Amino acid sequence: MNQRNKMDNQSTVTEFLLMGFSNDRGVQILHFVMFLFIYLISLMGNFLITIVVIINHHLHTPMYFFLVNLSLSDICYISTTVPKSLATSLTNDKMISFAGCVAQVFLVITCAGSELALLTIMAYDRYVAICHPLQYSLIMNREACIQMAVASWISNLIHAFLQTCIIFSLNFCSSSRIGQYFCDVPQLQKISCTDTKVSQGLILVIGIIVDSFCSGFIFVSYGYIFSAVLRIPSVQGRYKAFSTCTPHLTVFSIFIITAVFSYMRPTALSSTTIDLLSAVLYTVLPPLLNPIIYSFRNKDIQEAVWKIIKRHNETSIYS
């Protein structure tokens, strides 16, 4: 009877406490200002890339189609965690409902997975463009691009659904304090009353399979790309080929390094401060840096942005 009551108490958790960065009011205000600035810059950068690609017909190519998908994923990714964190810092209300926590876990996994899937597809796009240029328009046709983008989103929605079901099939104790600024999977496993070995094992196996496939595919693609580029006789041709790959390779490196550090670092390197830092690295840094990297390293995007600014200035003068 006592055991049954204990299980009932564990299964009636209706909200969680997001402990965030600090209880000090000064630190909370600093966190609010910094995160608000980062959030606005991320939204502006990703929306700018999306709008620039949509209104410039010469950018309606597979590479920029997937870049728009990446930007939309980044907008969703950072909007899943940061606004709630901003509200928590401003109001000091650390509560998040059970449903809100489920939604955060589901969307974070979906967006992180979509980010990796889209970066893998973009590596394939660069491989076909450089290694098989004569067949590029045939292989990377409109229908194929749409199918790959839809497949990446649907597969990650299914993956996120399974992962979320695994996490919330656990029972949670009376202590519902999450030592993070959003509902993070490792933190939820820490406060669970049930044995998490099975869920941790499943998540680890799925993560290793997916990450290994995507990372391996990207590395193999770039192996062929570098081999093909080095055979280009002209220095200008090699530079042009490399310049189309540099932003993608930089974005992928940032994403994979932060993700590996967050989820696969040794337990000895785990502490409250490091856990918070690693969460910021893999949920906030990629959406912030991706548009900046593509804007600074991509001449087509730069030229399109300057055309929009010039057109706006001309319209303002004549009006």
- Residue 165, domain CATH: 1.20.1070.10
Q: 82 vs 20, 104, 287, 292, 296, CA distance in Å?
A: 11, 11, 11, 19, 25
Are the C-beta atoms of 184 and 263 separated by less than 8 Å? no
144-160 b/e (C-beta count within 10 Å ≥ 16 → b):
ebeebbeebbeebeebb
Q: Considering its fold, how many domains does the chain have in total?
A: 1
pTM as predicted: 0.86
Encoded tokens for 247: 């932003």
Note the pLDDT of residue 174: 64
DSSP 8-state class, residue 231:
T
Note the pLDDT of residue 1: 41
Encoded tokens for 205: 């196996």
Note the pLDDT of residue 268: 64
Note the pLDDT of residue 147: 96
Boundaries of domain holding 197? 2-318
User: Cβ contacts of residue 295 below 8 Å, gap of 6+?
Assistant: 45, 48, 49, 301, 302, 305
Are the C-beta atoms of 181 and 174 separated by less than 8 Å? no
Alpha helices, DSSP H, located in the chain = 2-10, 25-55, 62-91, 98-131, 136-139, 142-167, 185-190, 197-230, 235-264, 272-283, 285-297, 299-318
Note the pLDDT of residue 276: 80
The span from the CA of 44 to the CA of 288, in Å, is 10
The span from the CA of 10 to the CA of 115, in Å, is 35
What is the full per-residue pLDDT of the chain (319 aa) written as tens digits? 444 444 444 446 778 888 777 777 888 888 899 999 999 999 999 999 999 899 888 889 999 999 999 999 999 999 999 999 998 888 888 898 989 999 999 999 999 999 999 999 999 999 999 999 899 999 999 999 999 999 999 999 998 998 899 888 888 876 688 888 888 888 888 888 877 777 777 777 877 788 788 888 998 998 999 888 888 888 887 887 777 788 888 888 888 887 777 766 666 666 777 778 878 888 888 899 888 887 766 777 877 777 777 776 666 665 5
Which residue type does 318 have? Y
